[in-house]
Amino acid sequence: MPGSDEQSITATKQPWWRPRPWHRQAFQVLRAVLALLIIAILATKLRSIGWAQTWAFLPEHAGFYLATAIGFVIYPATEVMIYKSLWGTGWPSITAFIRKRAYNELVFNYSGEVFLMAWARENIQRTDKELFSNIKDVNLLSGFISSAITLALLGALIVSEQGAAFLALNQSGNELALPVTIIALSMMLIFVFRRRLFALAGPQVLVISGWHVARGMAMLLLQVAQWSFALPDVPAANWLTFLTVQMLLTRLSFLPNQDVLFMWVGIAMAQLISAPEAAVTSMFVAAGTLSVVVQIAAFVLTTRFGRKPAV
């Protein structure tokens, strides 16, 4: 049968790496399994410390919880300003950017960009090519700036007083090799192929990069403030190790829920600061849980009341 022959020939010409529908489902299942594994390990650790003791050390300072709320708002607020310069959108569009972040945090990385593209097609008078190009450029710049901040933090940590203790946790070097290699390669590729990758004009790149730098620095300061509210006896400079590890984890986009993962890693590194293990554990449990709850609440509320955000 000629038809079947043509179909078989076409099938054989399809590249082996072409994405299949089950690929994404398998990836989501794998991420879910990894997340559950991390939660199980975390639960075992909490049990060994003592649930009652962990509960007793939960942060009481209102600033700890306020910092979480401010940190949640900073991301979509800066994206409103970034895309306002590109699309002319206003503050009512912030619900779309809140949902974008919730998608990335709760579903899988870059699902938020898929949502934003779909939203923009309905609300922004631009061609699909221009919308996709803008989202891609903003994302690349965000990744480049975040990677640069991460490497700067890592360099500062290594030469600091905490450097020796941090390196002692990574005696084989393998723990740092993967994230540092990925970060360095991604930055190098973006820089080398910047003329082909970016469609934005030079001034636009500088403005958007400025917003990314400001947001990154604000989030670092806010994170230190949150931890200091929970553990005021720990010098602010001692949080450099935790900041660096947190940034390293965020650069590995294929990892499962990073708030839960960092909760686990933070508890494992409690020995690096002079504070009761139960207090450090409670702080990271509260921060990680609160972050997930806020993301879910924001997703539900913006889905219910912000289906078609005004621009």
C-alpha 253/C-alpha 137 separation (Å) is 17
Range of lowest pLDDT (105-114, 136-145, 227-236): 105-114
pLDDT at 237 over 90: no
Range of lowest pLDDT (44-48, 188-192, 303-307): 44-48
pLDDT at 148 over 50: yes
Task: Return the H-helix or E-strand segment holding 293.
Answer: helix 277-305
| Cβ contact 146:247 at 8 Å | yes
- pLDDT computed for residue 97 by the predictor: 93
Q: How confident is the model at residue 180 (pLDDT cuts 50, 70, 90)?
A: confident
DSSP 126-156: S-HHHHHHHHHHHHHHHHHHHHHHHHHHHHH
| Cβ contact 87:124 at 8 Å | yes
pLDDT at 95 over 70: yes
C-alpha 52/C-alpha 62 separation (Å) is 21
C-alpha 234/C-alpha 220 separation (Å) is 17
pLDDT at 244 over 80: yes
Higher pLDDT, 6 or 152: 152
Token pair in block for residue 209: 């990069």
Residue given tokens 């504070």 in the structure block: 275
Range of lowest pLDDT (12-21, 192-201, 215-224, 300-309): 12-21
Q: How confident is the model at residue 243 (pLDDT cuts 50, 70, 90)?
A: confident
